[in-house]
Amino acid sequence: MLKRMCACLIGLLLLGAARAEAPLCVVEGKVACMVDRDGDTLLRGPDIEDAFIVREDALYAAGRKGEYRLYNASGEPLGETAFAMIEDQGDCLIFRSGSRYGAMAADGSVLLPATWTQLTSDGAGGWLALDTDPLDESPDAILHIDANGEATPTGARTSIGLSRLQSGRMPIAVPNGRYGAVNARGTVVISAEWRAMGAFLDGCAKATGPDGMGLIDPDGAVLAPTIYRWLERGEGIIAALRDDGLDVYASDGTALFGLEGENLEATLAGRYIAVTSGAITRLYDGAGAVIAESDAGVSYAPGTRGQLIVSDGAWGERCAWLMNSDGSAASGRFQRILPLCEGRYAFLEMEGAEYYSAELDRVQTSWNYDTIRYGLMDGAGNILAPAEYRKIRALGADRLLMVTNEEIRLTDADGEIIASWLTAEAEAPTGEAAS
């Protein structure tokens, strides 16, 4: 009997944890609230006109725009400090009050008062900060602040303000327009000799030298030669165009494969690279295998679960369709397709009228944007909800916000209504989201 009671108690505790693990921020028109996955209200009131996620499944900001408070996943307020904006930096929260920045712990307590013109965490309980105007023309001295709030000049100066440290590095710029990087203590570890430098994602950064763009590691060592005219990151890959070909690297700068050919053009679509040569576009995966081949005018965009959204016609035409990772078609054709959550897409329908263009000497279509409506479909192109919504957007892994002229609906991933609010009278809910 005791074991059964303990099992029931554990089950209830787990159920409670599951219900509170992923609150949703519903913000649409006059409706602004936090609800749980079942649509039950966690936080709503006359002082709530906006809400957003600060730390997934744990911390939320809500309040009047510019005067937010911190809340936990149960909708309970944390601390007393109001802020205009806040960012989770892992070991702390950086918040802005007025025009100044401070740091806050996850329980809402203030770690560092908002007295700094810019602030970023050093990842070890301290911060890098500025106390001068980062928008004027003078370079700003970077300070290091320890956990006790003691500020020490680092000797480094920058003309581009502070950014979040990545891989223990932060780019800086000196007045002559050259870029370098400092470490978490504000010490210069890469001298300012580069014409441009990006963030050190996955241990490497894009850097521009006199001959082009390349990749460097956190110590400034060159991983990919600075010879490229174009270099961009995708999902786990980096593509770089040279005058006589294209090279593809892993996200950490490791070389994967290359292609030869002059005047190539490339675009990234998630984990894939579309390379155009003349009238032909070939779609490659990260291993260099050709997934698809098409006319040069075809475009690719990332979908969900490794799928791609393909468009092979003009805006408004039924030219958008889903492609699987092996290049096979996964859906029929729609006027437009937008990714939502895993395995779910919004499709667009709108009305148009044909007319003859004497200037172009052909029949054109004039699209009526007021008629745009969105529907819901799965990754196989099966329609789950008709195109009758003004908006559809994801509110998490398997929750959607679907807006008609009359209702704001919280639904599951299949479009089944969980809760709803009237668009005209946000304070008169029609579903379980009533407080």
> Is position 422 within any domain?
no
Same domain for 360 and 273: no
Token digits of residue 400: 């959607």
Same domain for 395 and 307: yes
Tell me the whole-structure pTM to 2 decimals: 0.88
- Which pLDDT belongs to residue 111? 98
Same domain for 375 and 394: yes
Average pLDDT over residues 21-36: 91
> Is position 354 within any domain?
yes
Last residue of a domain, one of 300, 325, 348: 300
> Cα–Cα distance between 375 and 392 in angstroms, integer?
8
Average pLDDT over residues 388-394: 97
Same domain for 309 and 383: yes
- Which pLDDT belongs to residue 349? 96
> Is position 347 within any domain?
yes
> Is position 432 within any domain?
no
Average pLDDT over residues 335-344: 97
- Which pLDDT belongs to residue 426? 42
- Of 52-56, 301-305, 335-339, 353-357, least confident by mean pLDDT is 353-357
> Is position 91 within any domain?
no
pLDDT at 20 over 50: no
> Is position 423 within any domain?
no
Return the CATH number at 271.
2.40.10.480
Same domain for 392 and 329: yes
Same domain for 358 and 346: yes
Task: Tell me the pLDDT tens digit for each residue of 408-418.
Answer: 999 999 999 99
pLDDT at 301 over 70: yes
Same domain for 330 and 257: no
Same domain for 308 and 296: no
pLDDT at 12 over 70: no
Same domain for 307 and 293: no
pLDDT at 14 over 90: no
pLDDT at 17 over 80: no
Last residue of a domain, one of 243, 265, 300: 300
Domains: count for the chain: 2
* Alpha-carbon separation of residue 210 from 172, 195, 225, 228, 242 (angstroms): 18, 7, 11, 11, 14
Q: How many residues does the chain have?
A: 435
Residue 21 binned pLDDT confidence (cut-offs 50, 70, 90): low
- Which pLDDT belongs to residue 357? 84
> Is position 39 within any domain?
no
- Of 28-37, 367-376, 420-429, least confident by mean pLDDT is 420-429
346 vs 2, residue with greater confidence: 346
- Which pLDDT belongs to residue 240? 98
Range of the domain at 340: 303-399
Average pLDDT over residues 182-203: 97
Residue 2 binned pLDDT confidence (cut-offs 50, 70, 90): very low
pLDDT at 431 over 90: no
pLDDT at 428 over 60: no
Q: Under 8 Å CB-to-CB from 239, ≥6 apart: which residues?
A: 230, 231, 232, 246, 247, 248, 249, 266, 268, 273
Task: Tell me the pLDDT tens digit for each residue of 266-276.
Answer: 999 999 999 99
Percent pLDDT > 90 in the chain is 86
Same domain for 321 and 385: yes
> Is position 69 within any domain?
no
Last residue of a domain, one of 300, 324, 344: 300
Q: For the chain, what is the mean pLDDT? A: 92
- Which pLDDT belongs to residue 6? 38
Token digits of residue 74: 């149960």
> Cα–Cα distance between 95 and 118 in angstroms, integer?
10
pLDDT at 170 over 70: yes
- Which pLDDT belongs to residue 7? 38
Same domain for 309 and 266: no
Contacts by residues 172-180 (CB-CB < 8 Å, ≥ 24 positions apart): 172/142, 174/139, 175/139, 179/207
Task: Tell me the pLDDT tens digit for each residue of 116-160.
Answer: 999 999 999 999 999 999 999 899 999 999 999 999 999 999 999
Task: Tell me the pLDDT tens digit for each residue of 342-368.
Answer: 999 999 999 988 888 888 888 888 889
